[in-house]
Structure 1
Amino acid sequence: MSSVYRADHVGSFLRPTELLETRKAGAGNVREIEDRHILRVLNRQKEIGLDAFTDGEFRRTNFMSDFTDAVEGFDFGDAVQRKWNEEKKEGAGAAVSSINGIVTSALKQRQPLTGREVPFMREHAPGPIKITLPSATQFPAISFKYGITDKVYRDPYAMLEAVTAIMAEDIRGLATSGISYLQIDAPRYSYYLDPKWTAWMEKELRVDPAEMLAASLKADNACFAAARHPDVTLAIHLCRGNNRSHWYAEGGYDAIAERFFHELAVDRFLLEYDDERSGNFEPLRLMPQGKTVVLGLVSSKRPELERKGDLLRRIDEAAKHLPLEQLAVSPQCGFASTMEGNLLTEDQQWAKLQLVADVAREVWG
């Protein structure tokens, strides 16, 4: 039976300078520093009043490195290039990490995906444990390169099947490990919202977008089926890119809402809604009963703190399309999808999370 988490967050937090510098230097005490700062952010989440607890993804270099660290077959020396857009002028010139390795050999899992995270969280989390994983659909778009990957997997569909098989088998065990909340991060669905990216799929990935959408839904559902457990809430998060306060896609949910909402076997959809790039709330009318939409109204990209009154007004607008009991609130994405993090301070991050918790209490009690 899924739980209701009204004050939610996507998972990653800004890394402290000490951790970034230690990791960059290759020092041997990284685990000790990770542990200390994870305990600190667990305590902050409790103080703020958030409903589920993550380790901030502090043990990862980016939101999907738990997979690429655990699975052989990726080469990070030859990434697929992608154009990012600055969130605002102050962000121009900020370095944007390359986080996508190319698959150059058969994928083979060598260690549990979250084996470094779950045991510590089971021992120290002060409440429900939330674990995030990248969607299997993330990898064909960024890790398949013609002339290289197709020597191993004939096309992006075959690679998607291979990633899904590894992911689903790992998730099967994760669901019984003591976690309460599993979230799959699936930014590639944003390609179907933005005409320039559907065109890119046809030209560069050489797939039919409609066929790839069907294959993507099937892949994620295979993972959710493996994760389905009476004590675990299942969620999917969709954003339009989040790297050093940059983004790459735009467009409302209209193009995929009906299939996305109805076909995915999840309890919660964490949806980006922090500005006009996300469209309006009208697609929420297509959400079936029994599923929750977490409104990502607070920006993790911009340092300015939103006004509570504005968030309350926007929740009221969303409630015109979906009953209030099917809604929750969160930031629109993580604060550090890559370990370098977005262009704001830790104090600004915690102020935004406090606002999320305060709004949730005011709206839902």
Structure 2
Amino acid sequence: MAPPPPFRAEHIGSLKRPRHLIDARTALDKGELSKAALTKIEDEEVARIVKLQQKYGFHAITDGEFRRHMFYDGFFDNLEGMTLVKDPSPDIFMDYVPDIKAFKAVGFKGGETYLATGKIKRVKPCYVPWFLSLAKDVAPEDVKHIKMTMAAPEWYHLRHSGKFAYSHDVYKNDAEYFADIAQAYREEIDALYEAGCRNIQIDDPLLAYFCADSMIAGLKEVGDDPEALLDSYIQLYNDCLATKKPDFSVGLHLCRGNFKDGVHFSEGGYDAIAVKLFNELHADFYYLEYDTPRAGGFEPLKELPKNKQVVLGLISSKVPKLEDKKEVIARIHEAAKYMGDPELKRIAISPQCGFASHIEGNLVTEDDVEKKLKLVSEIATEVFGTTVW
């Protein structure tokens, strides 16, 4: 069994990207800047953001996802067999997926996606180079605390279903497709471990969609079984994590939509999936969004096993307004009651999501981000006495 999340104060991976970094990435895409020049800027900004995290006592350091365009970059785009499709037809995206429905409602145009047109294989490192770069910015004894954020394994499957996610000349069914995805994850996780990584966070907006009545109804409308599909995703997760080492911690972040201008996609409490999510999926801890009423109450936390922990996303990363410290602390104690954890041994606190799931980020400034991180740290210190477990 992996250890608990090591810290009482966390943040969820992405931080506000400075304008000159965004402009540099745009220049690279236009052929106006070299990859080496962009990397130099990324290195400088990652080093800066590491110092900001350390300033407020955060130990699970991330690179702010400054080397990515979107939070899910870095894995599928590096796998053999996955093909980039630009300006895809809207027809290959499933209407029952809440964010797809929202995008289509405003006129789905352009964009890109990845489909499996060949056998999926991990033929090169995916996240490992980013981990090794970040390791240079922390003390040797802190390398094991670095947190790498990873894409959800079912990301492209739910969006496209088994009908479009893969070529049926390559894979006969979901089971074959999932088996190769799981193998690629196992290889990457093993490589991260060998590089010194001991802490990953898998970012998954899709599992939270199973809390939404609209998606459940949509799946049934097209003849799919929501329970069976959720079961297949949980099994995929467990297959991905099957070979992880005992001292390798895996956290699962259930995002509820954190798109441009604070747009969200998913509503509904965790009640519908809590038993399976907490008891059947082999994560060690869960980052759960609880910044708005659309996430429901804390009642589902009673299903959390005693050997697992929760990181409560009580601070919003979508708006600059600072939360009331007393109200947040009261909510921590309320959650603990449902968990049967009056001593708060299995609870941590974080913003509800990253500050920049997409490249432009949310409606917060870099100064707002710093104030939010400071607030998380202050609450953790006041409630738990320290940011360290």
Q: TM-score, normalised by structure 2?
A: 0.85
What is aligned with 1:233? Answer: 249
What is aligned with 1:74? Answer: 83
Structure 2 residue matching 1:117: 3-state secondary structure: helix
Aligned mate of 1:183, from 201, 210, 214: 201
Q: Structure 1, residues 81-107: CA drift from partner, whole Å, max 9, x if none?
A: 71349xxxxxxx9x9995643334433
Q: How does 1:1-365 map to 2 (within 5 A)?
A: 1-3=2-4, 4-26=6-28, 27-28=33-34, 29-72=37-80, 73-77=82-86, 78=88, 80=93, 82-84=100-102, 98=111, 100-126=113-139, 127=142, 128-144=145-161, 146=163, 149-151=166-168, 152-203=170-221, 207-230=224-247, 232-244=248-260, 245-322=262-339, 323=341, 324-365=344-385
Query: Post-superposition, which runs of at least 4 consecutive aligned residues in structure 1 deviate over 6 A?
Result: none
- Report the residue type matching 2:370 in the other structure: W
8 Å CA contact retained: 1:298, 1:330: yes
Cα distance in 2 for partners of 1:120, 1:318 equals 37
8 Å CA contact retained: 1:103, 1:143: no
8 Å CA contact retained: 1:293, 1:328: yes
Shift of 1:239: 1.4
Cα distance in 1 for partners of 2:235, 2:162 equals 22
Between stretches 43-52 and 162-171, larger displacement belongs to 162-171
- Against the structure 1 CA distance between its residues 144 and 39, is the aligned structure 2 distance closer, same or farther, given a 3 Å change threshold? same
- Report the residue type matching 1:15 in the other structure: R
Cα distance in 2 for partners of 1:281, 1:148 equals 35
Cα distance in 2 for partners of 1:100, 1:16 equals 26
Shift of 1:201: 3.1
Q: Structure 1, residues 225-266: CA drift from partner, whole Å, max 9, x if none?
A: 322332x22211111122212211110010110111111222
What is aligned with 1:89? Answer: none
8 Å CA contact retained: 1:102, 1:149: yes
Cα distance in 1 for partners of 2:288, 2:181 equals 24
8 Å CA contact retained: 1:102, 1:142: no
Cα distance in 1 for partners of 2:252, 2:125 equals 21
Shift of 1:272: 0.7
8 Å CA contact retained: 2:291, 2:314: yes
- Structure 1 unpaired stretches of 5+: 86-92
Q: Structure 1, residues 7-30: CA drift from partner, whole Å, max 9, x if none?
A: 011111111111110110111111
Structure 2 residue matching 1:76: 3-state secondary structure: strand
- Report the residue type matching 1:354 in the other structure: K
Between stretches 192-201 and 45-54, larger displacement belongs to 192-201
Q: State the Cα RMSD in Å.
A: 2.3
Shift of 1:200: 2.9
Between stretches 343-352 and 107-116, larger displacement belongs to 107-116
Structure 2 residue matching 1:106: 3-state secondary structure: strand
8 Å CA contact retained: 2:84, 2:112: no
- Structure 2 unpaired stretches of 5+: 95-99
Cα distance in 1 for partners of 2:23, 2:83 equals 25
Shift of 1:209: 1.2
- Against the structure 1 CA distance between its residues 328 and 103, is the aligned structure 2 distance closer, same or farther, given a 3 Å change threshold? same
Identity between Structure 1 and Structure 2 (%):
35
8 Å CA contact retained: 1:2, 1:234: no
Q: Structure 1, residues 322-349: CA drift from partner, whole Å, max 9, x if none?
A: 2111111001111111122112111111
- Report the residue type matching 1:22 in the other structure: A
What is aligned with 2:97? Answer: none
Cα distance in 1 for partners of 2:327, 2:110 equals 33
**Matched pairs, number:** 355
Cα distance in 1 for partners of 2:164, 2:345 equals 50
Between stretches 24-33 and 125-134, larger displacement belongs to 125-134
8 Å CA contact retained: 1:297, 1:331: yes
Cα distance in 2 for partners of 1:358, 1:76 equals 45
Cα distance in 2 for partners of 1:45, 1:24 equals 26
Shift of 1:139: 2.1
